[in-house]
Amino acid sequence: MDKLVIEGGIPLSGSIPIGGAKNAALPILISTLTCGGTHHFRNVPQLVDIESTLSLLGRIGCPSRVEATGDFGLGVELDTSRIAFSEAPYNLVRKMRASVLVLGPLLARCGQATVALPGGCAIGVRPIDQHLMGLEALGCVFKLENGNIEGRVKHLKGAEINLSVPTVTGTENILMAAVLADGVSVIHNAAREPEIVDLVRFLRSMGARIKGEGTSTLEIDGVPALRPAREAFSILGDRIEAGTYLLAALITGGNITITGAPVADMSSLLQHLRQVGAEIETGDDWIRLTSPEKGVPVSIETAPHPGFPTDMQAQWMAAMSLLSGSCIISEKVFENRFMHVAELGRMGANIRIQGPSAHVSGVDSLTGATVMATDLRASASLILAGLAAKGQTEVLRIYHLDRGYEKLVKKIKMLGGAIARVSTHSTLPVGSLRQELGN
């Protein structure tokens, strides 16, 4: 197993590209199950979750071909002409909860599907009851047997579906089935995330009829069949990756430019960065951040899009921990997403949890320490803290990072950061990374 070693205190500067959004790529790749044929994609991020998705699709009977397209990103060719097995077993689902997204497309294409229950995860329980409720409204019947959801449908029919919460994956699962239903379906209280908008763009390129993306009401006029898109589809830029690097610049007092960013989808984060005091310049797909001489902490409350993203909460907390003053960070999406607090505390952060809120009092400096990542975004927050801390930080259990940040070490080095990925049992002399950077 590997760990990250970071020597902090270097302001990040320079320019880096932002990759394709994992949370857009996963449902888009899976949605090809609705349509037999060959599909082509560009700007697919090189991540473990992408590998897991392609492995799952391969097991179902849909082989893929992957090629690197420069230093970052992948081109993917996916052949869904034949579906051999309409099943997603537990050994694959347990690696990636998004595997449950095969349920809707398989039911639409094959009339049956068996998917292992995904269970909980490190940041809280994420039930799929809304998925099943919506699919049942379309005519599907389910039973639970041996830890699997077994679904069948004779004929998908359009329906009015009212979600009790705007679940992202629930909206996606129902949407991917409804595009092949007979008649019109309407999803009320649908999730509005940009990644769903990107999924709609792709489904529409295959001939689906969908209105209302980006709003809380999706209207789907089902079609008898879809066809592969005529051109390679380019995946949306990753707003969470983009935000993470902006905060890496802020916490180190740096100035960076990111390209390939979905600027229009990042308004909440950019607004809060301006409130901190950062100077933000933007173009159609680029953002430049100049850190303030003395920023002020800003409170946030996570919410579904277009609110402040829950996937940016941990990184925001790390950045606020070094600003003079105090703020409150309220987590309103997941019930167990403060596990990074204890690890930030090991580095000297002053954070107190009270119910769904964390009270952050800024400190003059953080100190390098050995810390352990608990999930993907917690990993990112500890890296940000390490980049700003005095001395050397070691981040353990970094396999989480490989799920959501493409070549993170390389990108941080491009910005001048002192960071290395080494074996867990390796040791590096303090100052060695800085020395290497200066050579």
Residues known to be catalytic? 121
Write out the two tokens for 136.
């049942």
Residue 81 backbone dihedrals phi, psi, to 5 degrees: -60, -35
* CA nearest to 84, candidates 104, 109, 49: 109
Task: Go through 119-142 and write b for each residue having 16 or more CB atoms within 10 A of its CB, e for each that does not.
Answer: eeeebeebebebbbebbebbbbeb
The residue type at 409: V
Q: Distance between CA atoms of 189 and 100, rounded to whole angstroms? A: 20
Given phi > 0 = left and psi -120 to 50 = alpha, else beta, which region is 218? beta
Q: What is the DSSP letter of 39?
A: E
Size of the chain, expressed as the number of residues it contains: 439
Query: Alpha carbon of 164 to those of 167, 303, 320, 327, 368: distances in Å?
Result: 9, 15, 33, 31, 44
DSSP 113-157: EEEE----BTTB----HHHHHHHHHTT-EEEEETTEEEEE-S--B
Contacts with 271 (C-beta within 8 Å, 6 or more apart), sequence order: none
Residues forming beta bridges with residue 76, ordered by sequence position: 41, 66
Write out the two tokens for 99.
């595997």
3 state SS of 424:
coil
Write out the two tokens for 139.
């005519």
* CA nearest to 132, candidates 170, 87, 160: 170
* CA nearest to 118, candidates 148, 143, 142, 82: 148
Residue 302 backbone dihedrals phi, psi, to 5 degrees: -70, 150
Judge contact between 157 and 138, C-beta under 8 A.
Answer: yes
Query: Alpha carbon of 380 to those of 9, 224, 396: distances in Å?
Result: 17, 44, 12
